[in-house]
Structure 1
């Protein structure tokens, strides 16, 4: 099944289906953020904080609530990216340097030696 590619990652909806969020992907639980877009999400989060401050100062209470929902979404997506990075870090293969038996055995017995 093909997934829709959006600016911040991949949409979990089937390709061609409509989305009620109308490009407000940060609010959508189906957005799978692209780790390469983390800096952009941080910029969006910071911009939302500035816009909330402005809206509170101007008394735009409805706007404040909508921006806070978007801010919560941005924080959630950043947390998802941090969790993904941590999971990838833990899943990385680590060479423990465990030696093979031939490397640790002090002496190898051959067939000729065992007959004497």
Structure 2
């Protein structure tokens, strides 16, 4: 699975906000087909932001211990 780069989070927020503005404009103008397409794009942007949030919350260090070497008999 490809994960969105957390460094791009600000850009994703910018894209999401722009899509919200464009949806509002399309609704005012009565461009129903445009509204539907923009909502699909908005869902994708919001999904990517959620992936970044999940990924950030799952990045807790795990202690794997010190490896040891066992000699077999």
TM range (shorter): 0.7 to 0.9
Matched, 1:33 2:4: yes
Which blocks of at least 5 consecutive residues in structure 1 are unaligned? 1-11, 13-30, 95-116
Q: TM-score, normalised by structure 1?
A: 0.51
Which of 77, 81, 98 is residue 48 of structure 2 equivalent to?
A: 77
- From the CA coordinates, give the structure whose radius of gyration is larger: 1
State the Cα distance separating 1:39 from its structure 2 match: 0.2
Matched, 1:48 2:19: yes
State the Cα distance separating 1:58 from its structure 2 match: 0.2
State the aligned residue count: 63
- Larger relative contact order (CA 8 Å, sep ≥ 6): 2
Which blocks of at least 5 consecutive residues in structure 2 are unaligned? 64-73
Q: TM-score, normalised by structure 2?
A: 0.80
- Deviation per CA, 1:36-75: give whole Å up to 9, x if none: 0000000000000000000000000000000000000111
Greater than 6 Å deviation, 4+ residue runs: none
Q: Who is 1:92 aligned against?
A: 61
Higher percent of residues as strand: 1
Higher percent of residues as helix: 2
